[in-house]
Structure 1
């Protein structure tokens, strides 16, 4: 059995982004370049609540179940914002700069 090659998500996806999902939540999106890559990640459930919780330093209970949406070759995960959007101390009102931890994700590469 061969060990899968793990590749940074930025090399496999056209889009890696974050955005508000209302004032209390963030949505993380990964849109894969190739159908084969999306299919592999979806089949393996390679993006998990546990990984997102660890990457963002939040409890697993604050992370929604990843949604694998085949027509768009996309994975979406929603998590609770640490601060309400626009609250004192919030440094990213739109949630558009919160995708950084996703870039540390390494995924098995499709052939």
Structure 2
């Protein structure tokens, strides 16, 4: 019998596109283009998506994560140093084209830490 347990929503469910790309040989930039203002409110919520969350997802220093919230465009842009310089010996994604996947699959909780609804 198939499992009908609902899966929790992820950030990508609220986005038109979540992408990543090089921002030079030493930085990665990711952008979340949200479907609407409700989706943007989730992505822009600092209790859900903040520097520490990105640091934990990508193994980088939270102090070096930059998050830009652009409400007029329903976009959240995130930049952080690449763990390995572009085209370095151990670089497995030279264009940083797959770095967005952990962000897009980040589970969105129904509530903020204070118990108020996030969605």
TM-score (normalizing by structure 2)? 0.77
C-alpha root-mean-square deviation of aligned residues, in Å?
Answer: 1.7
In the alignment, what sits opposite 1:103? 104
In the alignment, what sits opposite 2:87? 86
Matches within 5 A, 1:1-111: 7-42=9-44, 44-45=45-46, 46-64=48-66, 66-107=67-108, 108=110, 110=119
Q: How many residues align?
A: 103
Say which structure is richer in strand: 1
Distance in structure 2 (CA, Å) of the matches to 1:38 and 1:32? 5
1:106 partner SS? coil
Shift of 1:103: 2.7
Q: Which structure's relative contact order is higher, taking Cα pairs within 8 Å and 6+ residues apart?
A: 1
The answer for unaligned runs of 5 or more in structure 1 is 1-5
- Name which one, 1 or 2, has greater alpha-carbon Rg: 2
